[in-house]
Amino acid sequence: MKLLISNDDGVNALGLRTLVNHLAEAGHDVMVVSPDRERSATGHGLTLQHPIRAEVVESIFHPNVKAWMCSGTPADCVKLALWALLDAPPDLVLSGINHGANLGTDVLYSGTVSAAMEGVIEGIPAIALSLCSFQSREFTVAAQFATSLVAQLEQNPLSELLLLNVNVPPLPQEKIAGVIVTRQGIRRYIDVFDKRVDPRGKTYYWLAGEVLEEVEDCPIFADQAPTDVAAVREGYITITPLQFNLTSAPGLSELKQWQATNLKF
């Protein structure tokens, strides 16, 4: 398959290199367009106020891989690749392997997920991959699973355009409980702004949040699948299908009922 790979941890990230090399060694045609530095938690931001630069990268990845580093955001990287750098569109866009989980509502902030979602917006199925630890530097299990998943998608393409958000617990292969399809959970943080003073006497703030894990359940799809947060906690690799259409089906139904009597100009 022809694969486009990006990330938000930067072109030199070990997770990216491990993923790229595994897929290249499996015989795929791999191209990389990645940020030139870490761009975590940038969401789906695009660079509009200044130019985006891209430089060819050598000697980081497998010799068969063509790679660029980009001055923009993760979403910029994929958009630039699809519209300017690649000769033909890829069969699949991958993003990761992120250093840290992208579970529940993390996906709204994640540069990793946004890079993959940019592929879906452009009509290309995508996978976002994350290792659920900031301490572990062992990305091999996640890369091996990614290689297996890509092979399965090559043989059995999805009938619907989706982003598969994959989270891998930081466990040895023999301790992984299995692979399970999940729904998006709710993961909230206690956001704390640390107030500091710089050497010139000016106040600044540093955001530091403590995760609360899953603080409540979402009733939609509750009878169909466990949440990604709960399943990773049990040692499962999770696959959560995502889409960019954020329309609320229950909300749409309720508002249509209001429309006749309550919504007036």
Interatomic CA distance for residues 166 and 153, integer angstroms: 14
How far from 125 is each of 51, 110, 122, 248, CA to CA, in Å?
28, 18, 9, 22
Contact 138, 173 (CB under 8 A): no
Known binder of ligand: residue 130?
no
Q: Give the contacts of 216 (CB within 8 A, at least 6 positions apart).
A: 186
Contact in structure between 11 and 67 (CB atoms under 8 Å): yes
Q: What distance in Å separates the CA atoms of residue 102 and residue 184, rounded to the nearest whole number?
A: 10
What does the block give as tokens for 260?
């006749």
* Tokens encoding 207: 């955001």
Return the axis-axis angle of helices 14-25 and 140-155, rounded to nearest 10°.
40
Is 8 one of the annotated binding-site residues? yes
Q: Which residues are annotated as a binding site for a divalent metal cation?
A: 8-9, 40, 98
Q: Which residues are annotated as a binding site?
A: 8-9, 40, 98
